[in-house]
Structure 1
Amino acid sequence: MADVLSYRPRTGEIPTTPGVYRFSDDSGRVLYVGKAKNLRARLANYFAPLHSLHERTRRMVTTASALEWTVVGTEVEALQLEWTWINEFDPPFNVKFKDDKSYPYLAVTLADEAPRALMTRTAGIRGARYFGPYPQVWAVQQTIELMLKAFPIRTCNNANYKRAMQSGKPCFASQIGRCFGPCSQNVSVEEHRARVDQFVSFMGSQDRKLINKLTAEMKEAAAEQHYEVAAKRRDQVTALTAILEKSAVVLRDTVDIDLFAIEQDELAAAVQMFIVRGGRVRGVRGWMLDKELDVSTGDLIDSVMQTAYTGAAVPPREIIVPELPDDAEAMETWLAGISQRKVRIVAAQRGEKAALLATAAQNAKQALMLYKTRRSSDFVARSKALEDIQEALGMPAAPLRMECYDVSHLSGTNIVASMVVFEDGLPRKDDYRRFSIPESTDDTDSIYRTLMRRLAYLAPSAESDEQQPDPASPTGLEQIEQKRKKFRYQPNLLIVDGGQPQVAAAARALADSGVTGIQLCGIAKRLEEIWLPDSDYPVILPRNSDALFLIQRIRDEAHRFAITHQRARRKKDISSVLSEIPGLGPARVKVLLQHFGSVARLKEATEESISEVRGVGPQLAATIHHHLRA
């Protein structure tokens, strides 16, 4: 592979102004679209030496055969043109949004003579005011039901409204008590417009002042014995209070913000959007993103906001994000053009908004985990994943049983290894195993030792026939069954967490054990590459393939299993070190660890600082100090 790409333009030919660029292949298909404040500086990153590029970036630039760019006047124009081209060309290396939901909105058609309230998924109704999005249809319908009790307005469609106004007869919805517009013949157009204004004002502000005002009117009407008016105001107060109670109060009443949280790994990202109006969470929206290139959080935020505010959604005055994008000012200008007011993008670091951002981030983390779990658990997806793994690794059959190994340690101490087993693409937790490694030189040696111990149960025995258990005898059969139960069956595929060095160590263990018929590979976490023994180049699985998701899940499960065991051993070792000191029981050990945080810090502490701990006197402090230093 040549280190210089044939289509690379001369540096002097690339302008230093803002612009949008696109890579395309031999057939003319656009592979990637990007924007830049300085085209020359940005494109230079793609034409660095190939070995220094991220693997997926290297794959994109070597697949491409042409590069074009368009110069624009400002960063805002670059933002707009980039979004236009992404929608037009659907480039495979750009971020892919997976949002199978069409979120419902509550809309009020203010441009109509008699505006009506309706649930809609359609963006761009002329003159309409939108509220939401809502997570479910029933949430919109419930809100409309409650709001109509407080502010009865029109709900019938335009054809029925026109027919009722021309004939002078109430519309059908009004006859069954479902429409309260002028078509009911009970209210004038002007009176109805006043109700609509109240409807929109309350939905937009969620202000309790209106409830207080209606409560005062209810009491005044009751005092004057106008009981019908008082009952009407009571019903309005009850409905509006119910609406407020449906929304969680998270911030001050005056706060209107949209908040975005992102949780990502090398191949996918989960986005959670919290819509806060009047200090209350009024809606939640989520996306899953497939990533082809190594995209920064700032670039993801750009793409997410372009998606979120294309359509009916209007940005508020403040948007909270986990990290400011490089073109934050241009994004603010673009959003201000949509909302017709100034918009700020803020990265919350502390306070109540940062706490809400942490909550949204937790939701995003759960969404990403669920997304990956569902992909690997679906039968069709699992079958396709196993077939793709078979094809990618050149296996004679699909790997119905896979074992994955990982090593965990703390600065070379408490070395443990894990073995997790997946059968038919699903975890077989009763076959999981943990290994304690007394000593090792490095991770590759730990992998070798672990696999030699595991493969000993599969290797052909070097003992003579006389020394083998006799399957015909009950005792011999029992020994064979116990041996099988400990490690069950031979895997089709053996996976190690790591790159070429770890795979080489595993291959050496397979060769030394004499076990054959097992395919071996390793997964390098940084670039998600699949390495085979004696191979100079990795196998690159497509970023959105079910095969890579399955291998990732096995690797992550092995890592989780290993680190959990290592932490448990570490905690046990720390407790055992301190419990050997005379006068220290479990309660004092706990207090000491809480105070100093670790045994290492406790070892560095002076006798005076140890004696300051609750329940530890000068004499015991001297004993602890001497014991740990010795």
Structure 2
Amino acid sequence: MVQPPVRRVPRQPRRAPDLRGAPARRGAGVRARLRPPPMPARAPKVAPELSRQAAGAPDAPGVYLWKAADGTVLYVGKAKSLRKRVRQYTALADERASVPLLMAEAAQLDWLVTDSEVESLILEANLIKEHRPRYNVDYRDDKTYPFIAVTLADPFPAIKYTREKHRGGVRYFGPYTDAKAARETIDTVRRIHPICRATCAEWKRVNARSGAPVGRPCFDRHVGKGPGPCVGAITREEYAETVAKVLAFLEGRQQRALDDIEREMYASSAELDYERAARLRTSLDAVRKVLERQRIVSESPIDADVVGVWREETVAGVQVLVVRGGRVVLGNEIVLDKGLDVPLEELVEGFLVRYYSEASHVPREVLLPALPCDPEPVEEWLAGLRGAKVALRVPERGEKRRLLEMAETNARHTLARFIHRTRYDEQRTNEALAQLESALALPAPPLRIECFDISTLHGRHSVGSMVVFTGGRADPAAYRRFRVQLATPQADAAARRPGA
């Protein structure tokens, strides 16, 4: 097919093409053809008042708070030397992309001096939870995650499902990001080791009487699920042994529970106590079902939390695999409100501080995709929570590396489910179109965007290409490629004119 001749244009200086008068092609909606990108703006300036405040910061460890004009806390950070750290902000020497935006919005600086870096870390975690600053790494949603609690301070401790974690004399396990899994765990524990429920009315009466029986059995005792302290069917010493087994089970030592129950079952059978042996066999089957659901990931008894991270532009999915005795006993899914917009090291540190400030147990080892910016204070803080040494490691090879890869795969699925459930991509696309409308002073959001380019080799072989974005998304079906005849080798700008 013979191409029609291209209208020749006189040679003229190169300049940006003006596509505003181009005829409409396919599609409906508002049209917007983008000009070449503007020259980069000059580096933003920091208010002189902020520089003066930063110069007055002490050369000591502590926590600093950048605030807006109305007093809203924008960012909370910690530092070995407050003066050196805040001066990096005012000099715009910090390479993070969010720092210029933070400095443009900040109006005042406050700080709190501490005695050590660990105290700074603890104070930073508390201030972040209190103020929820916009520029800090935090959970995407503001909900509280459930825990399993055992009321050890009561005469007959009970188990319960709760979202609080502040009472003294209570042992907490969690957090569980899946509420259904927490309730199912309580039901499984009570089938294996009969323990009272904290919601039982008769149990509350027993506690009010300092452990003395009330003489009336509760419903669980009627159906054979309760140990019966309400009617004096069990002593405090026998009940304490049951509580110890419950705690061991919740800590992840299910194999020990399996061995103990199996040994007691055979002993009861040898003593011809077949009724008790049958009850123990039922408990044994329940433990085996739990172990069958737990994936064996190592032949060695690894006790570690494996943190996998998968990031998109402004959001990240995190999967925490709780590995005890070489088995994955729990998987927690969490979505963070920062992604590729912050360095991975900062994201990891922010998550560790947020997660373990609420967690009931800290393992001896935490496997990570990257170490925090300053790992020593984080390790010291975690060791204080655990009461023993804690190691933060980035595995490079072997079974621990495979564990980390498995956690990252699950983190990717966590983020995909969140995006699908909340339509997060659609929300971001709509916001981007609205910002583009404002930046280009358009009468409406650009629902269709066409971008053109010309490629030529000495003016003999020239092609033009058009890519199309419809509704803020790439539309490959509308892409086009054109064969172009140029009047001169330098006429590619003219070829982009509407007449061409």
TM range (shorter): 0.7 to 0.9
Question: 1:510 and 1:37, CA in 2 relative to 1: closer, same or farther beyond 3 A?
Answer: farther
CA contact (8 A) 1:267 1:292 kept: yes
- Number of the residue aligned with 2:8: none
- Number of the residue aligned with 1:16: 59
CA contact (8 A) 1:181 1:192 kept: no
Question: 1:105 and 1:10, CA in 2 relative to 1: closer, same or farther beyond 3 A?
Answer: closer
CA contact (8 A) 1:56 1:292 kept: no
Q: Distance in 1 between matches of 2:76 and 2:281?
A: 57
Percent of paired sites with the same residue:
35
- Which of the numbers 19, 28, 39 marks the counterpart of 2:82? 39
Q: Distance in 2 between matches of 1:396 and 1:214?
A: 74
C-alpha displacement of 1:233: 2.5
Q: Deviations over 1:344-374 (max 9, x none)?
A: 2222222211111111112223334454566
Question: 1:348 and 1:177, CA in 2 relative to 1: closer, same or farther beyond 3 A?
Answer: same
Q: Distance in 1 between matches of 2:290 and 2:60?
A: 51
1:43-58 equivalences in 2 (<5 Å): 43-48=86-91, 55-58=97-100
C-alpha displacement of 1:253: 5.9
- Number of the residue aligned with 1:122: 164
Aligned-partner residue type, residue 76 of structure 2: V
CA contact (8 A) 2:448 2:468 kept: no
Q: Distance in 1 between matches of 2:54 and 2:359?
A: 42
- Number of the residue aligned with 2:6: none
- Which of the numbers 349, 358, 361 marks the counterpart of 2:408? 361
C-alpha displacement of 1:85: 2.8
Question: 1:64 and 1:174, CA in 2 relative to 1: closer, same or farther beyond 3 A?
Answer: same
- SS of structure 2 residue aligned to 1:114: coil
State whether structure 2 residue 100 is matched by structure 1 residue 62.
Answer: no
Q: Distance in 1 between matches of 2:362 and 2:61?
A: 25
Aligned-partner residue type, residue 402 of structure 2: A
- SS of structure 1 residue aligned to 2:52: coil
- Which of the numbers 111, 122, 132 marks the counterpart of 1:90? 132
CA contact (8 A) 1:30 1:89 kept: yes
CA contact (8 A) 1:274 1:285 kept: yes
- SS of structure 2 residue aligned to 1:167: coil
- Number of the residue aligned with 2:33: none
- SS of structure 2 residue aligned to 1:31: strand
- Which of the numbers 63, 71, 76 marks the counterpart of 1:28? 71
- SS of structure 1 residue aligned to 2:77: strand
Question: 1:32 and 1:223, CA in 2 relative to 1: closer, same or farther beyond 3 A?
Answer: closer
CA contact (8 A) 2:450 2:466 kept: no
State whether structure 2 residue 493 is matched by structure 1 residue 512.
Answer: no
1:111-150 equivalences in 2 (<5 Å): 111-150=153-192
State whether structure 2 residue 281 is matched by structure 1 residue 234.
Answer: yes
C-alpha displacement of 1:75: 0.7
Q: Distance in 2 between matches of 1:49 and 1:378?
A: 31
- Number of the residue aligned with 2:366: 319
CA contact (8 A) 2:97 2:342 kept: no
- TM-score normalised by L of structure 1: 0.61
Question: 1:173 and 1:284, CA in 2 relative to 1: closer, same or farther beyond 3 A?
Answer: same
- SS of structure 2 residue aligned to 1:262: strand
Q: Distance in 2 between matches of 1:292 and 1:246?
A: 32
C-alpha displacement of 1:54: 5.2
CA contact (8 A) 2:174 2:359 kept: no
Q: Distance in 1 between matches of 2:254 and 2:213?
A: 38
Q: Deviations over 1:364-390 (max 9, x none)?
A: 233344545666577777666644543
Q: Which has the higher helix share?
A: 1
1:139-538 equivalences in 2 (<5 Å): 139-157=181-199, 159-163=201-205, 167-223=214-270, 225-252=272-299, 254-291=301-338, 295-372=342-419, 386-402=433-449, 419=467, 421-423=469-471, 431=477, 433=479, 508=493, 512-514=497-499
Larger relative contact order (C-alpha < 8 A, sep ≥ 6)? 2
C-alpha displacement of 1:204: 1.8
- TM-score normalised by L of structure 2: 0.75
Q: Distance in 2 between matches of 1:154 and 1:367?
A: 35
The runs of 5 or more residues in structure 1 that have no matched partner are 408-414, 436-449, 457-504, 516-630
C-alpha displacement of 1:5: 3.9
Q: Distance in 2 between matches of 1:291 and 1:76?
A: 24
Q: Distance in 2 between matches of 1:160 and 1:239?
A: 27
C-alpha displacement of 1:66: 2.9
Q: Distance in 1 between matches of 2:339 and 2:326?
A: 37
C-alpha displacement of 1:342: 2.5
Q: How many residues align?
A: 438
Question: 1:177 and 1:417, CA in 2 relative to 1: closer, same or farther beyond 3 A?
Answer: farther
- Number of the residue aligned with 1:6: 48
Q: Deviations over 1:165-184 (max 9, x none)?
A: 55311123333444334125
CA contact (8 A) 2:202 2:217 kept: no
CA contact (8 A) 1:262 1:361 kept: yes
Q: Deviations over 1:455-480 (max 9, x none)?
A: x9xxxxxxxxxxxxxxxxxxxxxxxx
CA contact (8 A) 1:98 1:289 kept: yes
Q: Distance in 2 between matches of 1:402 and 1:229?
A: 75
Q: Distance in 2 between matches of 1:80 and 1:44?
A: 23
User: Which moved further from structure 2: 153-162 or 271-280?
Assistant: 153-162
Question: 1:404 and 1:210, CA in 2 relative to 1: closer, same or farther beyond 3 A?
Answer: farther
Q: Distance in 2 between matches of 1:9 and 1:26?
A: 16
Question: 1:99 and 1:250, CA in 2 relative to 1: closer, same or farther beyond 3 A?
Answer: farther
- SS of structure 1 residue aligned to 2:76: strand
Q: Distance in 2 between matches of 1:158 and 1:269?
A: 41
C-alpha displacement of 1:417: 7.6
C-alpha displacement of 1:304: 0.7
Q: Distance in 1 between matches of 2:421 and 2:474?
A: 13
Q: Distance in 2 between matches of 1:341 and 1:26?
A: 44
- SS of structure 1 residue aligned to 2:71: coil
1:544-583 equivalences in 2 (<5 Å): none
- Over the aligned positions, Cα root-mean-square deviation in angstroms equals 3.7
- Number of the residue aligned with 1:110: 152
- SS of structure 2 residue aligned to 1:512: coil
CA contact (8 A) 1:259 1:320 kept: yes
User: Which moved further from structure 2: 187-196 or 118-127?
Assistant: 118-127
C-alpha displacement of 1:114: 0.8
Aligned-partner residue type, residue 255 of structure 2: R
CA contact (8 A) 2:200 2:218 kept: no
C-alpha displacement of 1:207: 4.4
- SS of structure 2 residue aligned to 1:303: helix
